């Protein structure tokens, strides 16, 4: 699940890099994609986890500053609340717009379930120096995600409404079919929408930060899985650390090529995102959360759930690609995939013998006294 889904996500980072290089250097998109792929693969292969985490801190700061600076400038330049009320489609002010609750769940759960089961997050939490730092990271991660994602979406809506509303012959016009490029389009024509040059450059920097950060992280994880869980565990248990590093670098290269091949199978970035997010959300997250939250879950139930979620997602995706009309629209795939995955998890777990307590007891240990925890923390600092 992780190898296929994460590699798909890496693929659309390559496409995003092609968009950026086409914007700033007028390089054809296909050449930009290849250059981006080469950079991300090389950086991931030779940087390692610590370097990537350090770069992520810088990337996060660039993204935050760029979006939070650009949004109020664009908002007030366009006319503030009066512009919004007069120009945005009234349906945008309804809670559901012109969609149903089913559609809302279909587009909400892929991202939600991805975040709940995203192994990069767990890796970084476990990289924290202590439990307190990890807990703080979770809190700030949730807050930051809500704030930044809301700001990005708002900026995209305002900017697209402006550029799409121009005359189609205008240099600045952006067609609906090109809407996935709106942030980059805003950066390129920053002065047209009231942004100073530095703000436009920050937006481009934010785009590059998102692409490199995501590409690095989502290549590192599956390459680590293949190295540690397959090669070291089943093929060469006696491998030295040097051999493991060399093998992982080879896997980064192989997965980079696969990611490039995968991006040719999807027409838009959104289609790739829905598919990849659903693979993780339906295939991995139910079993992962059950391991933390349900004592009765069994290994067989978890494996069956993962296989089912992945299988249903792939079946529908392949069926959609060969049919004239989709079997299930991409925005709804998560509903049957995750639903059947959870059902299989419950049924198989209840139908198989319970796992011994030593497998799950660690997740249900009661927290100790607060004063003891503080004392232990102070002792660690003194050491």
Write down the pLDDT at residue 121. Answer: 79
User: Considering only CA atoms, which of 164, 169, 168 is closest in space to residue 186?
Assistant: 164
How many domains, the chain?
1
Average confidence (pLDDT) over 67-95: 91
Write down the pLDDT at residue 379. Answer: 55
Residue 105 placed within a domain? no
The Cα 68–Cα 126 span in angstroms is 29
The Cα 297–Cα 79 span in angstroms is 55
Q: CA separation (Å) from 363 to 129, 190, 295, 349?
A: 20, 50, 9, 18
DSSP annotation of 94 = S
Q: How confident is the model at residue 119 (pLDDT cuts 50, 70, 90)?
A: confident
Is residue 162 scored above 70 in pLDDT?
A: yes
Report the percent of the chain where pLDDT is more than 90: 58
Q: How confident is the model at residue 361 (pLDDT cuts 50, 70, 90)?
A: confident
Write down the pLDDT at residue 366. Answer: 61
193, 74 Cβ separation under 8 angstroms: yes
Is residue 33 scored above 90 in pLDDT?
A: yes
183, 203 Cβ separation under 8 angstroms: yes
Write down the pLDDT at residue 369. Answer: 44
Residue 177 placed within a domain? yes
Token code pair at residue 370: 């607060």
Residue 299 placed within a domain? no
The Cα 259–Cα 272 span in angstroms is 11
Residue 74 placed within a domain? yes
Q: ∠ CA(115), CA(288), CA(51), 5° rounding? A: 55
Average confidence (pLDDT) over 325-354: 94
Other C-beta atoms closer than 10 Å to the C-beta of 7 total 25
Average pLDDT over the chain reads 88
Average confidence (pLDDT) over 46-52: 65
Average confidence (pLDDT) over 215-224: 90
Token code pair at residue 123: 């890796």
Question: Which range marks the domain in which residue 184 is found?
Answer: 2-87+144-266
Q: ∠ CA(220), CA(221), CA(226), 5° rounding? A: 100
Pick the residue with more confidence: 49 or 351?
Answer: 351
Write down the pLDDT at residue 262. Answer: 87
Residue 314 placed within a domain? no
Residue 214 placed within a domain? yes
Write down the pLDDT at residue 137. Answer: 86
Residue 125 placed within a domain? no
Specify the CATH number for the domain of residue 156.
1.20.1730.10
Q: What is the pLDDT of residues 171-212, one digit of tens each?
A: 999 999 899 899 999 999 999 999 999 999 999 998 998 898
**Long-range Cβ pairs for the range 145-153 (8 Å, 24+):** 145/115, 148/63, 148/64, 148/67, 151/67, 151/68, 151/71, 152/67, 152/183
Write down the pLDDT at residue 52. Answer: 63
Residue 368 placed within a domain? no
Average confidence (pLDDT) over 70-96: 90
Is residue 320 scored above 50 in pLDDT?
A: yes
Cβ neighbourhood burial of 322 (10 Å; 0-12, 13-18, 19+): exposed
The Cα 358–Cα 252 span in angstroms is 35
User: Considering only CA atoms, which of 267, 69, 57, 274 is closest in space to residue 152?
Assistant: 69
Angle between helices 2-25 and 29-78 (to 10 degrees): 70
26, 32 Cβ separation under 8 angstroms: no
The beta strands (E) that lie in the chain are given as none
Q: How confident is the model at residue 275 (pLDDT cuts 50, 70, 90)?
A: confident
Is residue 292 scored above 90 in pLDDT?
A: no
5, 222 Cβ separation under 8 angstroms: no
Is residue 57 scored above 80 in pLDDT?
A: no
Write down the pLDDT at residue 349. Answer: 96
Is residue 367 scored above 80 in pLDDT?
A: no
The Cα 209–Cα 189 span in angstroms is 20
Token code pair at residue 61: 């700061």
């Amino acid at each position: 699940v992780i190898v296929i889904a994460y590699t798909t996500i890496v693929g659309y980072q390559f496409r995003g890099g092609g968009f950026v290089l086409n914007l700033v250097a007028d390089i054809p998109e296909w050449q930009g994609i290849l250059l981006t792929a080469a950079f991300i693969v090389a950086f991931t292969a030779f940087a390692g986890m610590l370097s990537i985490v350090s770069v992520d801190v810088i990337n996060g700061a660039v993204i935050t500053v760029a979006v939070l600076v650009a949004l109020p400038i664009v908002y007030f330049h366009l006319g503030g609340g009066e512009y919004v009320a007069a120009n945005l489609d009234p349906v945008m002010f309804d809670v559901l717009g012109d969609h149903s609750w089913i559609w809302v769940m279909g587009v909400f759960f892929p991202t939600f379930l991805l975040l709940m089961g995203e192994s990069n997050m767990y890796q970084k939490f476990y990289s924290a120096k202590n439990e307190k730092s990890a807990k703080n990271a979770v809190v700030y991660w949730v807050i930051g995600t809500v704030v930044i994602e809301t700001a990005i979406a708002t900026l995209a809506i305002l900017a697209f409404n402006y550029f799409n509303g121009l005359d189609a012959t205008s240099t600045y016009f952006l067609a609906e079919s090109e809407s996935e490029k709106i942030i980059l389009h805003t950066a390129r024509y920053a002065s047209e929408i009231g942004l100073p040059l530095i703000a436009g450059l920050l937006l481009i920097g934010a785009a590059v930060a998102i692409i490199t950060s995501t590409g690095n992280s989502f290549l590192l994880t599956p390459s680590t899985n293949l190295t540690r869980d397959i090669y070291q565990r089943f093929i060469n248990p006696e491998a030295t650390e040097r051999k493991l590093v060399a093998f992982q670098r080879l896997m980064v290269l192989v997965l980079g090529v696969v990611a490039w091949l995968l991006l040719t199978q999807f027409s838009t970035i959104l289609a790739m995102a829905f598919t990849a997010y659903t693979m993780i959300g339906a295939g991995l997250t139910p079993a992962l959360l059950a391991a933390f939250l349900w004592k009765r879950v069994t290994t067989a139930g978890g494996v069956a759930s993962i296989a089912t979620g992945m299988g249903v997602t792939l079946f529908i995706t392949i069926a959609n690609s060969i049919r004239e009309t989709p079997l299930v629209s991409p925005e709804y795939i998560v509903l049957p995939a995750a639903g059947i995955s959870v059902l299989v998890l419950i049924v198989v777990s209840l139908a198989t013998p319970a796992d011994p307590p030593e497998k799950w007891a660690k997740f249900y240990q009661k927290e100790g006294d607060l004063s003891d925890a503080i004392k232990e923390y102070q002792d660690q600092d003194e050491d």
